[in-house]
Amino acid sequence: MESSDSSMFDVQKFWLYQTFARYYIVGRGRKRTVWRLFSIDRMEPSELNIFEDHTTYTTEECFDLLKRIHQGNRSMGGLKLISIGYGIVGFIKFKEPYYMLMITERKKIGSMLGAKVYSVSKSMMVIIPNPVVRSKLAYCSTEKRYQKLLNSVDLTKDFFFSYSYNVMRSLQDNLNRNKTDQSVYKSMFVWNEYLTRGIRKQLKNNIWTVALVYGFFKQIKLSVSGRDFDLTLIARRSRHYAGTRFLRRGVNENGKVANDVETEQVVSEDRAEGRTVQISSIVQNRGSIPVFWSQETSLLKIFNPVVIIPKQEDYKATKLHFKNLGDRYGNPIIVLDLTKTREKKPRETLLHAEYVNALGCINAERLEENRLKFLQWDLKQHSRCKAIVVLSKLKELTKLAMELNDTFHCQVTRSSPLEGSTRPYLEDVNISENANNGRCNVKIKRFQKGVLRTNCFDCLDRTNIAQYAYGLAALGYQLQTFGYLESPDIDLDDPLARHLMDIYEIMGDKLALQYGGSPAHNKLFSERRGQWKPTIEYVDIIKTFQRFVNNVYMDEQKQNGIDLFLGNPPPQKRMLVLDPVKHSKWRSTMKRSLSDSNIFVENDILAAKQLLRQESMGHNKCLVELMPEIPNYCRYTSPEFPEVVSASESMDSGNEEIDQERTTSRFLMADWYSDSVYSCEEELYNKILSFSSENGDDNCFSMFDFGRWITRGGTFYL
């Protein structure tokens, strides 16, 4: 026996044994000849007591130790094997006893730099205390309700992990020495961070736990010009402000947005061991519109009005969100907004105007090189054209963003295989510009700078289409960098484009199910496949109904389960306001939680009644909501431009010159202080103008539908 440093030992498989007084977890190291163990006290009804043996054992020594434990506990039933596990998800306590969550079956779904990536096939929840020490609290109805809520988070759906590759980070971050010292459990994409706090705190290591990422992971093999390569698409959902569609909207006070997803597209050469392999990746981001807003849900309507919290002139939360994006990805940050800019009954346009104001307020405080670049494209309006036309324009549009962000590109040379190792790039890796002296050398050729952040109204359907267009544009550049293509342009009829569309469609369906309760609406994708239009419409109706039912009836329990899993405040009984008359009164008086829905906590009802009394006395200071009946699309007016175009006027003014002016195409840096209405780099702006003129003669809508960008305090024109 010999002492061992925990950093040199990691567990991929363990055996769970039970005695009357303790659980014993015996783990095997990656070399299969080294064993470690720790025990959990079962005689404590409400506390978690873990004792780790820091000694490493050989196979014979470990077998002898288990035999002696069995003999010492024979009078109480001996040592019994309960299950075989592949990682501990964490520990949780509700009212009294602790529970241990563990993975009992896994499935390989791909590999990154030679390290295997797994999904969870089966999981198990083990009650820690022995039944003889449990009190009545362990069997009460509240405890059972919490158990049911936790079990509603299905670990076998869309959770994945790796023992040796940090799947919660992008490839660029993993190979960037400036960021590799961060704790993996502090990542915003590790969903069991809260569940693992107890064991990590007591053991001072994380060799027994696995970091679970929630989202999407898919890896396929493709070929072009007779050359094979691996395409990996990874979507990582943030655990901050996570939840379901109507219960998590907009941004919270900490700058965390709902449905925040990082999407990474990795392309790697398919080469044998010992040869240089080229790897390229590009990261994009999607998330809810980062202002305080909510949308009502009820049994009475499918399309409900949008409620915008008006007192956010300083936009502190929005500033925090984009500061976080800058810290994670650098600059430039390009905002692609796909919301509607024209509506007969304003919903999205109200939110769009508030978003534009927020971006302008942020840029007013930034230096020119750090300002946000804003790009508006009304995808709903343009989707009336043929799918190939829409996707072509969207691809050309996202190309402009990709030229600013670029892609990550590196070369990996593994001179010899690392025998018995599951960490092919973490051990003996030399990362430099021209390294050639390690077992695994990584030569970084190019970094990605900044990120493209895409949003639509729900950040579900339209966003996924735009992300596919961006991924297709990036794939052409990635393959050209490898020398596989002479030109970065990949035709939409190319088999590569079809395969990429399939994988992005699968990703969109998965993310939409997680957040919205139904697969994504993919009319453009279905049309590209040549499906019959009535069939497409029928499928969309079914998806809409499925999403509506889930949002109204199932999302509350789903949200409570997510909150419980993530360690958010314990869920409370809530009530859904269904009476439209009473509902209208509540909306004018209820002090809402920021970016929340119309599902109210029971304890807030008394506060609402108090607000009603204050209103009758003329002292109501509650939040005033922007209602759709307001004709102006923006809360701010400008002394330089006092006139305001109403909703009806914005649809058709009858003046061709004015209409032409209002739909001018441009790529905007949202800058309140710019001397020019068109605030952007001259070279890039010229590209936009030339691109718009080239596509202005078809029968579709104009490339961009912007409002006017006015100086600070100005009006957003539609």
Q: Tell me, what's the pLDDT at 302?
A: 54
d(CA 99, CA 103): 13
For residue 262, the one-letter residue type is E
Q: Tell me, what's the pLDDT at 440?
A: 66
Instruction: Please state which of the ranges 82-86, 559-563, 666-670, 671-675 shows the lowest mean pLDDT.
Output: 671-675
Helices (H) and strands (E) in the chain, counts: 18, 25
**Owner of token pair 């010992």:** 274
How many other β-carbons are positioned within 10 Å of the β-carbon of residue 592? 19
d(CA 29, CA 50): 20
Q: Is the pTM of this model over 0.75?
A: yes
Asked whether the predicted pLDDT for residue 66 surpasses 50, the reply is yes
Tell the burial category of 209 from Cβ atoms under 10 Å away from its Cβ (0-12, 13-18, 19+): buried
Tens digit of pLDDT for each residue in 105-158? 999 999 998 899 999 999 999 999 999 999 999 999 999 999 999 999 999 999
Asked whether the predicted pLDDT for residue 62 surpasses 60, the reply is yes
Q: Tell me, what's the pLDDT at 27?
A: 94
For residue 332, whether the previous peptide bond is cis, meaning omega lies within 30 degrees of 0, is yes
Query: b/e map of 413-423 (b: 16 or more CB within 10 Å)?
Result: bbeeebeebbb
Asked whether the predicted pLDDT for residue 571 surpasses 90, the reply is no
Tens digit of pLDDT for each residue in 331-386? 999 999 999 888 888 888 888 888 998 999 999 999 988 999 999 888 888 877 88
Asked whether the predicted pLDDT for residue 418 surpasses 60, the reply is no
Q: How confident is the model at residue 175 (pLDDT cuts 50, 70, 90)?
A: confident
Mean of pLDDT values over 419-433:
43
3-state secondary structure of 234: strand
Asked whether the predicted pLDDT for residue 473 surpasses 70, the reply is yes
Asked whether the predicted pLDDT for residue 430 surpasses 80, the reply is no
Asked whether the predicted pLDDT for residue 4 surpasses 50, the reply is no
- Per-domain boundaries in the chain: 8-211, 231-566
Q: Tell me, what's the pLDDT at 274?
A: 57
3-state secondary structure of 251: strand
d(CA 551, CA 599): 11
Classify the C-alpha dihedral 188-238-112-485 as positive or negative: negative
Q: How confident is the model at residue 182 (pLDDT cuts 50, 70, 90)?
A: low
Q: What is the percent of the chain with per-residue pLDDT over 90, rounded to a whole number?
A: 48
DSSP string, 131-188: GGG--GGGGSHHHHHHHHHHHTS-TTTTEEE-SSS-TTS-HHHHT-TTTTTS-GGGST
Highest mean pLDDT (candidates 272-281, 389-398, 637-646) = 389-398
d(CA 570, CA 150): 12
Q: How confident is the model at residue 270 (pLDDT cuts 50, 70, 90)?
A: confident
Tens digit of pLDDT for each residue in 579-612? 334 434 433 433 333 333 333 334 443 443 454 3
Mean of pLDDT values over 536-542:
82
Residue 383: closest CA among 446, 472, 456: 456
Instruction: Please state which of the ranges 228-237, 454-463, 467-476 shows the lowest mean pLDDT.
Output: 454-463
Nearest 5°: the CA angle 29, 162, 476 is 145
d(CA 484, CA 60): 53
d(CA 536, CA 539): 5
Higher pLDDT, 159 or 656: 159
d(CA 666, CA 685): 7
Q: What is the DSSP letter of 209?
A: B
Q: Tell me, what's the pLDDT at 604?
A: 42
Q: How confident is the model at residue 658 (pLDDT cuts 50, 70, 90)?
A: very low
Q: Tell me, what's the pLDDT at 552?
A: 78
